[in-house]
Structure 1
Amino acid sequence: MAAPSAGRRHRLILTRNIMASEYASSAQQARNPSTDPHHVVEGELTWLVRAVGLAIGGLLAVGVILGLYHGLTFGGGVRAQIAHGLLVAQVVFAVVLIMLGSIVEGFGFGLALGTRWPYTKNIVVLMLRGDPEAAHRVVATLVGLVGVALAITHPVYEMFLGLGLIVATALFGMGVLYVLAGRAPAIVHGTHGLLAYLVFMAYLVPLAHANIGLGLYLKIIIPTHPLLFAIFMGGVVTGGRGFGEALGQFTVPERKPQWIVALHGIAGLMVVGTLGWYMPTYPVAFALVLLQLGVGFLLFQAVNLKPKAPGAIVAFHQIMALLITTAIVMQWQF
């Protein structure tokens, strides 16, 4: 076989160098999303992600069914029935939205759509394919639309407060993308998580206690204070460690992310102490918090083992937080 000419050898070497450069660049972007102008880091659509997504979709359908049922069986005029049905559905939708956020984090989809917010051209197609970040943004839109409908059908302060919290949560949601890309402080992530739970409580509290709004409820129910602080610090932990970064094992905190973890743990112990002080008012919430401490330890280990995608344990940790919040508001008893 004839040896390749000098020109052909030059082209082959140039092509090989370009491919190597592109590979190195893509690898660098996977490690550090701030090197990509859109900060896109795609997650892996495994069967587990799709299965969890289907379960979340089922929960969304349950919200619609419960809203219809409670609306139709609610006493009062048509407008009151519509408002009550929407309120029931909104509580479920807020839960779904928080759960989707945990799935996005747990399976490494935080930057699957990059920092382009709120939508991409094919966001519905991506959602139907199982992308949890796309689903998260679509459901956020649904929660916003229901919030507007509630403010129209039941124009009271509590509904406008809920709508305002939705808007604030959405704006901080955009900020979360920049936290993950290394362009914004971790406190933005914590504030987003706190606001998401305040949205949930803004609609759950009027549903559980007809004559009490969120502001008054938070003022008089002391256990919500350490709970919300723990939720806030949980978001700061995620933002503080950076996208795809491990926290590292430690006995005494040495780095900033480890100090944040320690504060989150102290906040969890504050919740335990406060609920214990108010026993026997919140027995179920107290038991759930004790279990949550163990789940949090497992999550810490999972983050160190698989920093980019710790897995379903993130969603379970979030489920526990939602159950604790609900158990306090509803005062669940054994």
Structure 2
Amino acid sequence: MNGLKASEVGFAMILILLGSVVEGFGYGLSLGTRWPYTRNIAVLMLRGDPEATHRLVATLVGLVALALAILSPGITTITGLLLVVITALFGMGTLYVLAGRAPAFVHGTHGLLAYGVFLTYLVGLVYPGVDFWTYFGAMGALHALLLAVFLGGMTTGQRGFGQTIGPFVQPQKASQWTVAAHVGAALLLVATLGWLMPAYPIAFYLAVGQVAVGFLLFHAVNLKPKDPGVIVAFHQSMVLLMSLAIVLQWH
């Protein structure tokens, strides 16, 4: 069971990173709004389409979640399975966000749920027997982190597929107001982790560095709105490391 939980944590991390690769290299609508599969999806994956790979890894996450719920039913595994199903449905919704037919809230919620899946199985692996919701309710650091994650997804959804945000001092449009809110959430995360020092020093330093990475990403999006590049995946990997640092209490 621990092997399956560890595998699910790993697959969930890979899935999140693949989502950032899809965004960073402009593959968000490479399969159109068809979901979850196309007839030649395996061929597209072998040809290097990260969106096809993302969907197939998502299937693997779902199958492992189902196996865990059957073999070891409990609050963690049932919660994880439900989150996987809901995340998948919102994943379909993100395609319509990128196509301009659904609100940015859907994109932000998808990112939030994806991290919910990752954290559910991570907590279940690291703290067996601990009720996930009780644990989560007591973790203010994770609340601040997930707020930033949600607003980061909102930022992507609000600007639209291949659209620039534009430099600004005073926000003038919805995408710029969303960026401002996301920056505020990032600073709140830094302040929260700083307030909790020395409980999560690694997460704190990562959060400080992430603010600088976020500004670089903002400029990359404005320079190349369709494919800002690998910095999107780097930005996401920093969030994953922060999550691990908080749950594992790295020092």
Asked if TM exceeds 0.5, the reply is yes
Query: For the Cα contact (< 8 Å) 1:180–1:239, is it kept in 2?
Result: yes
Q: Report the equivalent of 1:248.
A: 166
Q: Report the equivalent of 1:95.
A: 13
Q: Report the equivalent of 1:232.
A: 150
Q: Does 1:268 find its partner at 2:180?
A: no
1:154-303 matched pairs, under 5 angstroms: 154-303=72-221
SS at match of 2:32: coil
Structure 1: unaligned runs, 5 residues or longer: 1-82
Per-residue CA deviations over 1:74-108 (Å, capped at 9, x if unaligned) read xxxxxxxxx11100110000000000000000000
1:78-157 matched pairs, under 5 angstroms: 83-157=1-75
* Deviation at residue 190 of structure 1 after TM alignment: 0.0
Query: For the Cα contact (< 8 Å) 1:202–1:213, is it kept in 2?
Result: no
Q: Does 1:328 find its partner at 2:222?
A: no
SS at match of 2:206: helix
Structure 2 distance, partners of 1:295, 1:144, is 32
Query: For the Cα contact (< 8 Å) 2:8–2:64, is it kept in 1?
Result: yes
Structure 2 distance, partners of 1:276, 1:235, is 24
Q: Which structure is larger by alpha-carbon Rg, 1 or 2?
A: 1
Query: For the Cα contact (< 8 Å) 1:253–1:262, is it kept in 2?
Result: yes
Structure 2 distance, partners of 1:332, 1:210, is 18
- How many residue pairs match? The answer is 251
Structure 2 distance, partners of 1:277, 1:208, is 24
Structure 1 residue identity aligned to 2:73 = P
Structure 1 residue identity aligned to 2:145 = L
Structure 1 residue identity aligned to 2:126 = A
Structure 1 distance, partners of 2:203, 2:57, is 28
Structure 2 distance, partners of 1:84, 1:209, is 11
Per-residue CA deviations over 1:243-272 (Å, capped at 9, x if unaligned) read 000000001111110000000000001101
- Identity, % of aligned pairs? 62
Q: What is the TM-score of this pair, normalised by structure 2?
A: 0.99
Query: For the Cα contact (< 8 Å) 2:75–2:132, is it kept in 1?
Result: no
Per-residue CA deviations over 1:144-195 (Å, capped at 9, x if unaligned) read 0000000111111110100000000000000000000000000000000000
Structure 1 distance, partners of 2:216, 2:131, is 36
Higher RCO (CA-CA < 8 Å; seq separation 6+) = 2
Q: Report the equivalent of 1:79.
A: none
Per-residue CA deviations over 1:89-142 (Å, capped at 9, x if unaligned) read 100000000000000000000000000000000001110111000000000000
SS at match of 1:223: helix
Structure 2 distance, partners of 1:297, 1:322, is 18
Query: For the Cα contact (< 8 Å) 2:144–2:189, is it kept in 1?
Result: yes
Query: For the Cα contact (< 8 Å) 2:155–2:175, is it kept in 1?
Result: yes
Structure 2 distance, partners of 1:218, 1:267, is 18
Structure 2: unaligned runs, 5 residues or longer: none
Runs of 4+ aligned structure 1 residues displaced above 3 Å come to none
Q: Report the equivalent of 1:17.
A: none
Query: For the Cα contact (< 8 Å) 2:189–2:207, is it kept in 1?
Result: yes
CA RMSD of aligned residues (A): 0.6
1:1-16 matched pairs, under 5 angstroms: none
Query: For the Cα contact (< 8 Å) 2:94–2:106, is it kept in 1?
Result: yes
Structure 1 distance, partners of 2:26, 2:206, is 27
Structure 2 distance, partners of 1:190, 1:282, is 26
Q: What is the TM-score of this pair, normalised by structure 1?
A: 0.75
Per-residue CA deviations over 1:277-318 (Å, capped at 9, x if unaligned) read 110000000000001001100000000000000000000000
